[in-house]
Amino acid sequence: MTTLIKFTIDYVTYVAKGGKQFYLWMGFLALFLIPWAYGNYQQFTQGMIVTGLTDQVSWGLYLANFVFLVGVAAGAVTVVFPAYVYKYEPLHKVTVLGEMLAIAAVVMCLLFVMSHMGRPERLWHMVPVIGIFNWPNSMLTWDTLVLTIYLLLNFVGGFYFLYQKYTGRPLNNSWYLPLIFVSIVWAISIHTITAFLINTMPARPMWHHGMMPIRFISTAFAAGPALIIIIFLIIRNKTALWIEDKAIDMLSTIVVACLTIALFLTMSEVVTELYHPTEHSGGLQYLMFGKHGLNNLVIWFWVSLIALIVGWVLLLIPKVRKNYTVLPFICAVLFAGIWVEKGMGLLIPGSIPTPIGEFTEYSPTLIEISNCLGNWAIGFLILTILLKGAIGILLGEVKQANE
Amino acid sequence: MPEEKIPVVDITGDPASAGNPIQQWNPVGTEDQAPASESRRGFLKKGAGLSAASLVGTAALVTGSDDAKANTSWAEHFQGAYRLMTDEEKQESISRLEQRYSKEYGKNVTVDGTDAQEGVLFGYALNIQKCIGCRRCVKACVQENNQTRGDEQEIEWIRVLKMEKGEFTQEKLNDGYPGDYGIQVGGNAYSAAGVVLEGEHYYEPEKVPEADSHYMPIACMQCEKPPCVKVCPVRTTYREPDGPVVVDYNWCIGCRMCIGACPYWARRFNWGEPKLPKEEMNPKTHYLGNRPRMKGVVEKCTFCIQRIRHGRYPACVEVCPVGARKFGNLLDPDSEVRRVLDRKRVFRLKAEVNTYPKFFYFTD
């Protein structure tokens, strides 16, 4: 017990101390919390009327970010999977960083769910025993369940590893390894169920097809490692922790492979829906070409598609893939492209047209945007802290003092 | 068969003016009227009396603290789901609401908790041949059911879709494409006649019906297999034993899954604090129906649960000037709705989604 307290104290002390750049970065992120606090206050007191959502398009930016971030959380498994299933040593050494990203991403998911709710103070209604948890009927309860468990798995797996490293004791593989393998499968499950959340509704034909889970996973497993590559390159640059080239190359290969599948699935969907466009392809038509003079999303669709195709072609070239000056920029473009693809390209047009055929546009308000930015900022604050602590322990800068 | 004469109704002018047979819906004034359907058809036995509930409401009026909201909201915040409450808890919650509403709206507001009656399953039938698109049903519904109104948001549970009669012309015969490879798309292909999803529900003509249109009102279909109920994470929306799908407004967390799942776009969300003028507020309410809502929760048509459980017609049925709307007990072979099902050609909207609506459309 005393060791645990010492661990906590050492961890916190290490994390709180940093250079000028660290404080600048944290301060920059904290700036977003001012409009965020104001926006949340407005939304909580006045209601969701401060957002751009309507009865026609009642799911918007908040849920789009939620869906995307579940993908990022799941995408963290692209570090864990090669490390443990293929015993890929370069990634094995830094697996815990992937787990830290998963924790931060799930926390962001929870923040976005809270932003999306009309009555966040009633969240306890969902808690079993004191409330009603409509499981197994409601897909949202499945999603809550798998996300919570995924958070726990990564928290326990990540911090157990760090704690053992801190104390210098070996890992107890008899339960640690099973935990890791469960968390690998679990990562797939969280994004599958997020896809089920929206594709099990025949009322929304754009989502109502069996391709949705694999499409979700393929884009997530491109966006996740794209972000991790950027993070790894920053870590290499800014800290003493050296992440091997081989680790980064493995991740960029995963990005290309998953992006190939994602683009193929997009093409399949476009052909299937538009060869003989039915009423059910109204959403896709609106997204790609606009409908009845409404075309807010058209530019987003094409820019993101072009970004993804260009990024994909570039990453197919080994020379580009291994050029670490260019690579982070391509990864940033892909990350943003997939964010647009999941939000403006999938979640929002799913509500357009409405089930009775009405086309309406949705544009988020400033409050909505600043609340989203704030949620992201909190996520990155948490991520920075988690990564800094983990790196300190990996480097041996934080360890149990000899007694 | 001679064509039936349908009245032309001016929907922009004063509804009670000369030449207009329809009186404006006045839910506040209905209190003393004997329920027409009850005495005439007796399709339902009257449920338990309201006297106890009414008394509490009156008592609340007398005690008089201005801060009704502050006095009751704490207990309201921590109350459980209505469906799972004991009878005492239900009564407690009802009197709490009656007190708050009565103070807030300055009149004796009753909140009814009458349960479903055995042997009853409510169903609805709408004659699309008769509907003239006047939207009296829409307005009566808003007034009866205390929906929010004003510039920010106007909630209407009924939407009337105006359907084009279409335009098929000789001139468009050769407008199709691609010409040289044999006509694959005819020039008249895009005439929206009979396409439900091309319906327009914002039409504002001076007179209805318009020559080139017919009308298709929609509202909650009260599905027997409601997808909205399945997706609700907290079971705040559920199907009552006598058929209507209801929402426990105090239990709703505002996640809007049900709005996503509804194939009929029948659910509405209170984006802001509802605006309900005191003088227009209908004080005869039901817990699961037309009691005033709060911001951040979902609401929908309940077939006027506050009326039908006491043997009265839903407001839209009562107000319809052409008798296009029929309502009754699906389990009673002599009910109007069953007679329609037995004798007319009926269909259900979007039958392919297998939600089994208890709302039928028919023609004569």
What average pLDDT does the segment B181-207 reach?
Answer: 85
Distance, in Å, from the CA atom of B229 to the CA atom of A134, rounded to the nearest integer, reads: 10
Number of structural domains chain B divides into: 1
Instruction: Report the residue of chain B nearest A44, measured CA to CA.
Output: B296
Q: What are the start-end ranges of the H helices in B262-335?
A: 305-308, 315-319
- Residue recorded with tokens 């992201």: A376
For residue range B63-86, list pLDDT tens digits in order: 444 555 555 578 888 999 999 999
Distances in whole angstroms, Cα of residue A217 to Cα of each of A190, A196, A212, A388: 10, 12, 9, 28
Which residues neighbour B307 within 8 Å (Cβ) at sequence distance 6 or greater?
Answer: B35, B144, B313, B314, B315
Q: Inform me whether the pLDDT recorded for B20 exceeds 70.
A: no
Give buried/exposed letters for A329-349 (b at 16+ CB in 10 A, else e): ebbebbbbbbbbbbbbbbbbb
Residue B199: list chain A partners with CB under 8 A. 356-357
Which CATH number belongs to the domain containing residue B253 in this structure? 3.30.70.20
The predicted pLDDT at position B8 comes to: 53
Instruction: Report the residue of chain B nearest A63, measured CA to CA.
Output: B255
In DSSP terms, B208 is beta-bridged to B9
Domain that holds residue B280: 114-165+190-364
Residue A358: list chain B partners with CB under 8 A. 201, 265
Instruction: Answer yes or no: CATH 2.60.40.2130 is held by domain A2-395.
Output: no
Which helix (DSSP H) or strand (DSSP E) does residue B295 occupy?
Answer: none
Task: Lowest mean pLDDT of A90-99, A171-180, B63-72, B140-149, name the range.
Answer: B63-72
Tell me if B74 is assigned to some domain: no
| Nearest of A120, A16, A35, A14 to residue A378 by alpha carbon | A35
Instruction: Report the residue of chain B nearest A203, measured CA to CA.
Output: B263
Residue A354: list chain B partners with CB under 8 A. 265
Distance, in Å, from the CA atom of B254 to the CA atom of A339, rounded to the nearest integer, reads: 25
**DSSP string across A158-192:** HHHHHHHHHHTPPP-HHHHHHHHHHHHHHHHHHHH
Restricting to B residues 267-286, those with a Cβ less than 8 Å away from any Cβ of A are 267-273
> The complex's ipTM?
0.94
Pairing mode, strands B213-218 and B207-208: unpaired
CB contact under 8 A, B230 and A122: no
CB contact under 8 A, A55 and B252: no
The predicted pLDDT at position B72 comes to: 58
In this prediction, what percent of chain A has a pLDDT beyond 90?
A: 98
A395, amino acid identity: L
CB contact under 8 A, B296 and A138: no
| Nearest of A149, A152, A142 to residue A192 by alpha carbon | A142
- Residue recorded with tokens 């893939």: A321
pTM score of the predicted model: 0.91
**DSSP string across A341-367:** HHIIIIITGGGSS-TTS--------HH
Tell me if B236 is assigned to some domain: yes
Contact status, residue A347 vs residue A59, Cβ threshold 8 Å? yes
Tell me if B252 is assigned to some domain: yes
Distance, in Å, from the CA atom of A323 to the CA atom of A328, rounded to the nearest integer, reads: 9
Residue B262: list chain A partners with CB under 8 A. 203, 355
What average pLDDT does the segment B269-292 reach?
Answer: 96
Q: Sign (positive/negative) of CA torsion B176, B178, B179, B182?
A: negative
